[in-house]
Structure 1
């Protein structure tokens, strides 16, 4: 197994990101007028929104998706995860670079992606369809989330032509029950549940609120929302990633690159050790800088050079 770390871009969002510049609130309000009530000036006189307010975050997300990615309709049920769009876009841009390195430096156009935990928001398929024209399969264990996702598919032509949804009926599985015998995926992506319990998730939310507002609160409402399965699972991120790694072995010939966001540095090392035991051919750590925050994606493949070349010749080259 070979392991490498890449940080090709300068600190900040990916150079292809539509979000590198400050928010253009005039343009965003033009496509989503409800955002206007949440825009204010901070102490430096710069326009912003209150990121502690879930309604403001949701209105901003809707505007970003409409303005930059051509969404006609976007909504999520109360309490569901409303992820920050710029960070999610960065994951896909860095993943596109990874695929390009396996395709003679060119980002493949005919790409099929498995989004593990697509959620009610469909953020990754929306961005991936708009920017790269990729096709997606989205899996989730929550039937209510999938019902909302189907509404988004029906309301947005780019999703209707490029996103299929599958329910994971066993919460203990990641790929088992989802990847079918004839499936071929060029990439899998995932935002795993970060925490090991509801108490751990709530404590993290309190810390986030304290950082945003300078106030400590006993009970908080998550500014980005999130149902329990989106935020925590038994064993936490470490256990989820280990399960993902072990199950990926069975589908190593059906997937070019597996990947997952990893929130904790220790869990990166743990996943690398797990993948070494699973005989992964190559493991790559992608670092994504967003201001002072650094996020990490771990990607791995079971294809050797010859198998990857055959994959490229049969799937990516016209």
Structure 2
């Protein structure tokens, strides 16, 4: 975890419950004799996130619709801190503006970017329901709607076109791409996650699998999976090279990197990979510029 991330310490459930009393219903003493929640319980994870956002980042409220992606806050904050390090390589601008591609109903990256570093952000998404909730989340806390703008991507084939305005410049783009190639693969991944969290229920159908972190189809999978989505993003980034400082994306599977590097080199883009780790989870940020 990034050294500037304020989530290194174990969760202070007393303080979190004070910030968000509804969390108390889900807190219990675990096997280690310390307070915890059941991380396989969707509602418990949502209320933990709400408490973290209220306690650490001063939000008044934060909500997502049922079965939408509920992101782990510490890992999302890490991306923001590493982005600052990346921008500092060229000298930090006074006023920073970024674009979060696929911001989702949770709108977590724009919210954290503003609350941690006061950056101005654009959040884009193809899902009208996600757009509606993202706007509600930034309208719930004073000042957020002055720094964050939510834009609807109406064409699935486009990533930057239709979102970045003519002559508009952003210092970076960021993305947590859908990393599964199919719904079946996404369900298998979710089942593995639940097993790792100690949930041994004998699930038989996809309707019986409750996503502990939620997720709609466009949030979890796309044809070709993560690699094809990022390759499409790289290809489309060429047309916006004068309007973006750094293009970045998470890459969950390191085996995808060689082909992505090859494509970037072919397009004569400068690129680097930033490793990230939260506990046993290993990930990385791929960044490039022209």
TM-score range, shorter chain: over 0.9
* Higher alpha-carbon deviation: 207-216 or 245-254: 207-216
Contact 1:125–1:159 at 8 Å: present in 2 too? no
1:217-242 CA distances to partner (integer Å, 9 max, x unpaired)?
A: 33311100000000011111111001
Segments of 4+ in structure 1 off by > 6 A? none
**Given the superposition, is the C-alpha separation of residues 176 and 294 from structure 1 closer, same or farther in structure 2, using an over 3 Å criterion?**
same
The aligned counterpart of 1:301 is 289
Q: Mind listing any 5+ residue stretches in structure 2 that lack a counterpart?
A: none
1:178-223 CA distances to partner (integer Å, 9 max, x unpaired)?
A: 1222110101000000111111100111111111115253331110
Q: Matches of residues 1-318 of structure 1 in structure 2 within 5 Å?
A: 13-103=1-91, 107-213=92-198, 215=200, 217-218=203-204, 219-280=208-269, 282-302=270-290
Higher relative contact order (CA 8 A, sep 6+): 1
Contact 2:121–2:147 at 8 Å: present in 1 too? yes
**Root-mean-square deviation (CA), in Å?**
1.1
Matches of 2:257 and 2:29 in 1, distance apart? Answer: 39
Contact 2:111–2:138 at 8 Å: present in 1 too? no
Aligned residues: 286
Matches of 1:163 and 1:189 in 2, distance apart? Answer: 14
The TM-score normalised by the length of structure 1 is: 0.88
Q: Mind listing any 5+ residue stretches in structure 1 that lack a counterpart?
A: 1-12, 303-318
Matches of 1:255 and 1:36 in 2, distance apart? Answer: 44
SS in 1 for 2:197: helix
Cα shift at 1:245: 0.2
Matches of 1:202 and 1:236 in 2, distance apart? Answer: 14
The TM-score normalised by the length of structure 2 is: 0.96
Contact 1:112–1:136 at 8 Å: present in 2 too? yes
SS in 2 for 1:169: coil
